[in-house]
Chains A and B, each alone.
Chain A
Amino acid sequence: MRESEAAVLKKSDVSAFFGSLASDMRLIAPKEAFGGDVIFDAIESPKDIVWDYGHDIYPPKRFLLPHYEEMFRYDCRGRIHIQPAPKPSPQAIIGIRSCDISAIRFQERFFTQPIVDPYYKDRLDATVLFGLVCTKPPRRECFCICCDSGPWLESGFDVQLTDLGDRFLYEVGSDKGAKATEPRAYLLTPARSEDFAERRRLELQADSLFQTTSYIAKAITYISADEVPDEVWEELGSTCFRCGACTNLCPVCTCFTVDDVENTDGTFSRCRSWDSCQFSGFTREASGHNPRSAYGQRVQRRFYHKCSYQYIMRDGRHGCVGCGRCITACLTNLGLPDVVKRIRRAMHAYLEPETKRSEV
């Protein structure tokens, strides 16, 4: 199948389609957990796929950058022997949303340029992303349209599915996607203009349903020019719980720490695990000196990484895909839109103290 040739997959054929895929690779999809929770996890059968989930709370980035990952193992009793971790097996992530796919493309660029991180690359090479377009924002906190990362994508996906009622619009976006589709292409039929029209209609409708907005552009301007006063950052940092949830759940965040952990059999594993710039130990040096000892400095750091022109130039896009997880996960109110709004208001008061503050 040529790239960008759109097709249609009937919902009644979904089981057969993904059932057949299961023989080539492990299937990961949104699955019902406990008490109404839906979390991406390995599924036994395509029937387990929960297609209409709100966001899951544990981002699928963990299938490419695991929460705790063994890099390699070594035995240092006697001659030093280093054993690399086994190569990852093929996997398909089905039902991943546009925001998360945009985040993966961001991470891909970060982890492969200029130096290639072998673990991320191997996992990504072994992963096929079957994206699912949001025909309406799944949660109140979504704001992907503000971040140019959804609700549907022009490119960046391996396969993109749009729910058109009794069928999915099926778009292939890469060679990997084409290769995964080929063996089961017989289940697809070519898309017709009515299918595209329906998709168009859903796209336009989705745009108007977003409840959270974030005027990130203004924040980018102030933050890039380092114009936000220290007092504003201090005030923002004064309620931070230092839990690291924002960075853990952010599909874009990539920072990690590395520790050598002893195993029960006497070998050691060099493991990497998610770290957070919001922890005070993130930058503390062996001498005890800490360049970011204040909460405000660390909040500033997070937003510099997310919203500065300097990082946009470096990474190709700004560091937020509008998934809204940091809003839900934060124990206080330091989700990105909240902080952007508070910076805007604070700057408004700061720059024009005599002006009566308008309702923002």
Chain B
Amino acid sequence: MSLAFTTCGFCSAGCGMYVQVEGGRVIGVCGSANHPVSSGRLCIKGWNATPAILGPDRLKKPLVRKGDRLEPVTWEEAISFAASSIRRILDDVGPQGIGVIGSARTTNEECYSLVKFARSVIGTANIDGANRFSDFSLVPGLLATTGVPASQVDINALPRAGSMLIVGANVTEQLPHIGSRIEQAALNGCRIISVDPRVSRLNPHTHMWLHPKPGTDLLWARAMLKVILDSSSYAETAAELGGFQELKSSLGDIEVSQLKYSCWLEPEDLIRATQILADNPPVVVMFGLGVLQQVNSTELVKALADIALLLGGSVMPLRGQNNAQGASDVGLACDYLPGYAHVSDPAARKMWELLWNCKLPAEPGLSAVEMVNACGSGELKGLVVFGENVALSAPNTQVSMDALRKAEFLAVSDMYLTETASLAHVVFPACSFLEKDGTFTSIERRVQRVRKVVEPVGESKPDLEIIADLAKALGSEISREPAKILGEIAANVAWYRGLSLDKVSEPWGVQWKIPEVEPTLVLVADGAYQEKAEYPFLLIASRQVYNQHTGTVSARCPVLLREYPDTYAELNEADAERLGLRPNREIRISSEHGSILRILMLNDGVPQGCIHVPHFFGGDSPNALASYECDPISGVPVYKTCSVKVEAVK
């Protein structure tokens, strides 16, 4: 019987948890009492998902496609097959014919090694991470404003906030530990302004709930900036920030009174909300995927950051996956190098070229979204995917799956035979966070140790080993030791300076310090979602507490799956009546790009003219309705507003 301590691999709160293993099976799990985030608690996923991680259909052997079937093979065969396929493509068309997509769930060391593998071993610029499908807009958005693409606020500082502006985030379900602090803050008198088109479980704690029309957030955000500036409610220090005058003049033409028609918002409500924030410092501005996957997401991030800066407050972007922060910190992005230097920065390129012994292009390569599409067009011949169910996290599932099918060479490393893995030519069985060593960086910049608690299932290997094996087969060396790799990261990424595996293994990890950066106020462009007449409903997509991402792991736990086995969607009662739709019956929701089936439920917390579609396990995700239209700056697809129509299924 052994009780091992590690960091939870589900959401970005980064709870410390104990896992008890006996006979290779998890027989117990509990939260650490003294850990600053878990404080003795876990959420429904933390308590229940460990059996799902070690589920019976875990991939135990590498697989290679022979004919139309995936057959188990030895590691040697799988690696050599992959290496020779990559070499063939390199010979045929060169490195730009290969793409690599990494995960926001693998360790920092694995993400960094994957970047190295792509840029220096293969030599391609087409390296990107799963963040591109979710939260990447916060990087350009915050780099331009606060200068720090991460949370400026610690989780335990939240109960002391004076007021909060929470936009597009169902925090209580997505990040329960942060939701718990928000509730604590509310009980301490913090004024919480929530902006969300529908009623969520955050509502009991909110002081004011604004529910603008989906897709119009830039309009009210710019209006809020104008209100702050016109009423001189900004903090004293804000007037001295760079960009202040320019911002002020750029908002001159906004008519706050028009919000009622353009945004479904009463102007008095917006003014009152703004006043509440201004009167109750310190202000924390939080935003989740409701912003980050929205139309014009980067502009929206800038607007919200400007609001925070004007009010003298701070920003907490709510990224969900356990290592979303770490993955982007170590450069798992087509347009950034580790430490957030843009690829166009010659000094940064020179430094990394020296370290990695390779050439780095000044232009960004293809993003993860573009890579999937490029498999279909033939621009990309080979795609290597580590730990991400791209087929379901990419938009327009139909087009994405067809594109992946067309790829000449698709290699996937994953724990289970996901939808993406089942399309691959070679599948590598990967380890879960319970079976490997490394580090994760949580939402509050806390770099924490992940410990091996159980022996790898079957012949599965940590992604780090798989990357090193592939590199070796292609004639290069990549380290297999997390300590060494973290040491290299620490030596070359300013914000990770001084970190070592030993240091982060001590309680309770190490938070990297916010750098001294001058924040700037930036101009925010205008824009709103263009509705389509034949598709009269606006989609509101969300997540449930018991479901994680595409549900690969969470669906395999009987208790989590039991929570809501039927996939449903919610309409306002009046809308349902108008369309003649009855509850508990199947409906078809379609956009220009795809359609999904759901069971209808009625909920007046959903505004009229909208349909609420939660993510569930597996296929039929609302992603199928989204197009390849992306935010122009960050390249993140627009998942969170879409015109759809709703009809009964006969």
Contacts and interface: CB of A to CB of B under 8 A. Distances in A.
Q: Do chains A and B touch in the complex (CB under 8 A)?
A: yes
A288 B567 CA distance: 12
B56 A242 contact: no
B499 to A, nearest CB: 18
Contact of A261 (B1, B51, B172, B563): B51
Contacts of A20: none
B42 interface: yes
Contacts of A67: 20, 27-29
Nearest to A66: B27
A41 to B, nearest CB: 5
A34 B16 contact: yes
Interface string A315-335: 000000000000011111100
A281 B565 CA distance: 9
A177 to B, nearest CB: 24
Contacts of A279: 44, 559, 562-563
A215 interface: no
Interface in B175-209: 176-177, 179-180, 183, 187, 201, 204-205
B590 to A, nearest CB: 25
A140 B188 CA distance: 20
Interface string A63-78: 0001111100000000
Interface string B531-563: 000000000000001100000000000110011
Interface in B15-66: 16, 18, 20, 25-35, 39-44, 46-48, 51, 56-57, 60
A228 B61 CA distance: 57
B29 A280 contact: no
A34 B507 contact: yes
A58 B508 CA distance: 19
Contacts of B20: 67
Contacts of B183: 239, 331-333
Given A67-B20, A67-B27, A328-B39, A241 B176 contact: yes
A239 B204 contact: yes
B34 A331 contact: no
B232 interface: no
Contact of B180 (A34, A244, A331): A331
B83 interface: no
B564 A280 contact: yes
B28 A243 contact: no
A197 interface: no
Interface of A is mostly: loop
Residue among B27, B35, B204 having the largest count of chain A Cβ atoms under 10 Å: B27
Contact of A68 (B27, B40, B43, B187): B27
A301 interface: no
Nearest to B40: A57
Interface string A239-258: 10111110011000000010
Contacts of B117: none
B44 A243 contact: yes
Contacts of A38: 33
A244 B34 CA distance: 20
Contacts of B31: 57, 329
A36 interface: yes
Interface in B135-189: 172, 176-177, 179-180, 183, 187
A39 B172 CA distance: 28
A234 to B, nearest CB: 10
B74 interface: no
> How extensive is the interface on chain A, given as a class?
35 or more
Contacts of A330: 41
B458 interface: yes
A35 interface: yes
A331 B41 contact: yes
Nearest to A284: B562
A209 B204 CA distance: 35
A58 B43 CA distance: 15
A323 to B, nearest CB: 13
A329 B559 contact: no
Contacts of A275: 559
A68 B49 CA distance: 12
Contacts of A34: 5, 16, 18, 32, 507
A264 B25 CA distance: 11
A37 B32 contact: yes
A195 B3 CA distance: 38
A257 B205 CA distance: 33
Given A67-B20, A241-B180, A331-B180, A259 B41 contact: no
A331 to B, nearest CB: 4
B250 interface: no
A227 interface: no
Given A34-B5, A288-B566, 5 more contacts: A68-B28, A241-B180, A243-B43, A329-B31, A331-B41
19 contacts: A33-B3, A33-B32, A35-B16, A56-B33, A68-B26, A239-B205, A241-B43, A241-B180, A241-B545, A242-B546, A243-B176, A245-B42, A257-B558, A257-B559, A259-B558, A262-B56, A262-B57, A331-B177, A332-B180
Interface of A: 33-39, 41-42, 56-58, 62, 66-70, 238-239, 241-245, 248-249, 257, 259, 261-264, 273, 275, 279-281, 284, 288, 328-333
Interface of B: 1, 3, 5, 16, 18, 20, 25-35, 39-44, 46-48, 51, 56-57, 60, 172, 176-177, 179-180, 183, 187, 201, 204-205, 457-458, 507-508, 545-546, 558-559, 562-566, 584
Closest 7 CB pairs of A and B: A35-B507, A281-B562, A262-B56, A58-B30, A331-B180, A67-B28, A34-B5
